[in-house]
Amino acid sequence: MRILVTGANGQLGSDLVAILEKSGHDVLGTDRMELNITNQEICDKVITEHKPEVILHTAAYTAVDQAEEDVEAAYLVNAVGTRNVAVAAEKVGSRLCYISTDYVFDGIATKPYHEYDNTDPKSIYGKSKRAGEVLTMSLCKRSYVVRTSWVYGQNGQNFVKTMLKLGRERDVLKVVNDQVGSPTYTNDLCCFLADLIQTERFGIYHATNQGECSWYEFARAIFDEAGISVRLEPCTTDEFPRPAPRPSYSVLSSLAIRTNGFRELRNWREAVSEFISNNSN
């Protein structure tokens, strides 16, 4: 299958390219220099030239706190850029898979959000990603929207890498214990995406590793798996104020994965164990 990946240098995009190529697909990985999604003419040109059967759109503005001040930049990438990709995809008949986020919800639930719950983003980042969802589904008939959360992988910076580094440098760490979600290992997410895009089961999906934890519990598991001895202290969100509001509960239920006959991603703790084992050196 001929596949184009936007944001191919990013944490998820780079793993997607590697996994898809290993599976025998013809993959074109593009970064900002090769495909500036905010330029409609460039989008049309690149996508028309390559005529991919599937576009995996991972490129995004992800600086959650910075977006509160840099509003136009967030919408330029996450909304306008996504519109450009969707319009070009529709012109050449490509399937389009847009990667979204748990931040499209209000984060005040007491049970996992499923795909058909009403969205109500509270941050500029969340609002701009929700705009990208709407544009994807409105402008490209053959589209998937895949929401995920707390992503970590081999490339780029993420919570697991940060904890491993700090755990080796410090004796005591404070980690927030009143935000609950589901960690997601890029390898597991990529395997689901590889299966999804070979079908015509279009729609919205929630794809995270199963189970839930707080950031404090996530950190505790990381240190346990890595054999790092550090005193870990729980704290509240209010002790670490940030410009953008964080969801207190943003666990995503994989209802659509189950009802469409796909296999759910494994438990988050099992995935963390594998990641730590593969990166122990």
Ranges of beta strands (E only) in 42-133 are 54-57, 95-101
Q: Do residues 79 and 127 lie in contact, with contact meaning Cβ atoms separated by under 8 Å?
A: no
* Residue 159: half-sphere exposure toward Cβ, Cα within 13 Å: 23
Residue 213 to residue 179: CA distance in whole angstroms = 8
Q: Do residues 59 and 77 lie in contact, with contact meaning Cβ atoms separated by under 8 Å?
A: yes
Q: Do residues 237 and 246 lie in contact, with contact meaning Cβ atoms separated by under 8 Å?
A: yes
Which of 134, 41, 21 shows the shortest CA–CA distance to 82?
Answer: 134
Element (H, E) at 231: strand 231-235
Q: Is 125 annotated in the active site?
A: yes
- Selecting among 61, 98, 103, 125, the annotated active-site residue is 125
Active-site annotation, residues: 125
